[in-house]
Structure 1
Amino acid sequence: MLLTTCNEELEQHLIQKEMSPETIRSYKGHNDMLIHYFNTKNNGPTFVDDLSTEDLEGYLHYLKHEKGYKPASLNVVLNAIRRLYQYTIRKKYVPTNPTADIAQAKVQREERAFLNAAEINELLEAIDHKLIRLLVRTLAYTGLRIRECIDLELKDVDFKNKVIRVINGKGGKNRLIPLSDELAVPLQTYVKNKRPKVSSNNFFALKRTGTISDQYVNRELKAAVGKLGWTKHVTCHTLRHSFASMLVKNNANIPTVANLLGHADYRTVTSVYIHVESAELADAVNQITLV
């Protein structure tokens, strides 16, 4: 069977399993690249049983050394290929899985950038676009992923019960996020007085498109960071890290933080979102008295 056909079948299988559209697009896109590479290399269509472990390792080597892929990106590609071959094994299209013995690339964990409350306020002041300023404020107060925020509909923001409903978040999960008074007031003002009259149900809507793109938001963030003269890399995801870090610093328990962020495994919170500044480390050490 053609590898292209298997990839199309996998896409339909993942849709039926109600996996998130972003995950499906990622798997399909990376596997399309794989298929194009081998079709071009072999000057003809690639069949599912054509590729060996060595072929796939060669492809990953090509991405790393010719295309400059970083370890984390290589692992995303490998996960997509693995998912494809797991499907082909289940359907009995191939007898063995050529990805079984391919190891994940080692990723050196770097401390993630995050902002404190004062820096977030500075950032908000520096954003010229009013709608994006409000959207960024929402990210900082809720810890939403940018796609979750952009996909919010008017009905998802419940001012009466003071909650934001995240529908079909990452992994297809739903969750509720409390709506703080400091965020509810500007959001209500926006809905009543400033939101353009468009047919779209998106909560955050531009008049021309009825929606807003994550690229546009990140572009405005980059411009604001440049205006402030900051050297740290700030994206929409930085606001999510900042939200989680502030919760942890204010003694919110780890399962609560994980729940608000939509993480199934609370260990993700302890490994990613807990930031300890050097002054806090010094204070902790100075508490030790052996006399």
Structure 2
Amino acid sequence: MIPDVPPRLPDKPTRFMDQLRSLIRSRNLAYKTEQTYCHWIKRFIRFHGMRHPSTCSTTEVEQFLSQLAVQRNNSVSTQRTALNAIVFLFREFLQQPLGELSFELARKPRRLPTVFTHDEAKAVIGHLEGAPQLVARLMYGSGLRINEALRLRVKDIDFGMQQIIVRSGKGNKDRTTLLPDSLLKPLTLQIEACLIQHKQDLASGHGEVYMPFALNRKYPNAAKEPAWQYLFPAGKLAIDPRSNVLRRHHLLDRSVQRAIGAAIRKAGIYKQANSHVLRHSFATRLLEAGYDIRTIQKLLGHADVRTTEIYTHVVRKGGFGVRSPVDDGF
């Protein structure tokens, strides 16, 4: 099973979850959103003893959301995500809009993001090699999320405009971000390598990649074109669960995450860190360099500038950049 490719649904789904997934896809929501909504809706159904949601009322919804805050101690964002899923279920799928809800709000404080110093980021990247190193450099150099980097296709690297086009990022939105000077040659070599692999796949009777939405029907030959090939192809061919076609997908995030985790340990960094810290560090470096918060918001793809503003609390010289009086000597 390929993790980020939606499995095929029956032409006329009869099962509850299949019908729900079909509706979600008809709204062109991201597959990540589909997975998240289905996860929380299943949790809601199990919480109420496997009752059909159509038999539940506002009271049952409030009970479920309250226990996330009181018993489960979930964060504000987790509770909000669950609420969005349940609202979609009742309003869009069941056609039973919920009235005004009254439930216990989560109060778990929002944590400040962990960031690397520039030297720490260089040390982590220095302990990587091959594709994981280039993915890490894209996260730190362009602010990409790990799956945004892994889903890049050859056509998304615009050398002429020196920019990277992120397709269907978080919230299913496209955006552009910068293409660092230092990555021009490595990305050129990576494209050459993936196209060599593509030629070998074509010679063996394969060479197709997964095409999003209905593009495979609109452009039937595009799946074999060089422009659509993944920049970081997987090491092996795999069965596409929607079409049962043997295709080459992109590298899986968990393999790159493991490599970055090992590099963090080798670098002797004892912060609670993972691959996503490289993206946090990109935002922090830009703030330290004096770039406008709105520009950074666009590069990161944040829907709300308040999400970007949290990085103002972790810029170098913590405490909002204030110089301590003890540093002036006695």
Map of 2:202 onto structure 1: none
- Report deviation, 1:56: 3.6
- Report deviation, 1:26: 0.6
Map of 2:185 onto structure 1: 185
Supply the distance in 1 between the matched residues of 2:307 and 2:168 (Cα, whole angstroms): 20
> Structure 1's 88 and 183: CA in aligned 2 closer, same or farther, altered over 3 A?
same
Map of 1:212 onto structure 2: 251
SS at the partner of 1:176? strand
Q: Does 1:283 align with 2:323?
A: yes
Map of 1:237 onto structure 2: 276
CA offsets 1:185-235 (integer angstroms, 9 cap, x no match): 211122225776043411112322441111111111111122223221222
Structure 1 segments of 4+ aligned residues over 6 angstroms from their partners: none
CA offsets 1:37-78 (integer angstroms, 9 cap, x no match): 43xx26xxx233422444344445666787x56324344323
> Structure 1's 285 and 33: CA in aligned 2 closer, same or farther, altered over 3 A?
same
* Equivalent pair of 1:167/1:175 in contact (CA under 8 Å): yes
Map of 2:43 onto structure 1: 33
Structure holding more helix per residue:
1
- Report deviation, 1:279: 7.7
Supply the distance in 2 between the matched residues of 1:88 and 1:186 (Cα, whole angstroms): 47
- Report deviation, 1:28: 1.6
- Report deviation, 1:240: 1.3
Map of 1:289 onto structure 2: none
* Equivalent pair of 1:159/1:184 in contact (CA under 8 Å): yes
> Structure 1's 25 and 265: CA in aligned 2 closer, same or farther, altered over 3 A?
same
Supply the distance in 2 between the matched residues of 1:187 and 1:103 (Cα, whole angstroms): 49
User: Percent of aligned positions with the same letter in both sequences?
Assistant: 25
SS at the partner of 1:197? helix
Supply the distance in 2 between the matched residues of 1:207 and 1:214 (Cα, whole angstroms): 13
> Structure 1's 58 and 158: CA in aligned 2 closer, same or farther, altered over 3 A?
same
Supply the distance in 2 between the matched residues of 1:220 and 1:196 (Cα, whole angstroms): 24
Q: TM-score, normalised by structure 1?
A: 0.80
* Equivalent pair of 2:313/2:320 in contact (CA under 8 Å): no
Map of 1:21 onto structure 2: 31
Map of 1:203 onto structure 2: 231
* Equivalent pair of 1:196/1:206 in contact (CA under 8 Å): no
Supply the distance in 2 between the matched residues of 1:114 and 1:101 (Cα, whole angstroms): 37
Supply the distance in 1 between the matched residues of 2:93 and 2:29 (Cα, whole angstroms): 18
Paired residues, what number? Answer: 271
- Report deviation, 1:124: 0.7
Q: TM-score, normalised by structure 2?
A: 0.72
> Structure 1's 279 and 269: CA in aligned 2 closer, same or farther, altered over 3 A?
closer
Supply the distance in 2 between the matched residues of 1:9 and 1:208 (Cα, whole angstroms): 33
Q: How does 1:1-291 map to 2 (within 5 A)?
A: 5=16, 8-38=18-48, 41=49, 46-60=51-65, 70-71=74-75, 72-87=77-92, 91=95, 94=96, 97=98, 100-127=101-128, 129-193=129-193, 197-198=197-198, 199=207, 200=209, 201-209=229-237, 210=248, 211-272=250-311, 274-276=313-315, 277-278=317-318, 281-283=321-323
Q: Structure 2 unaligned runs (5+)?
A: 1-14, 199-206, 210-228, 238-247
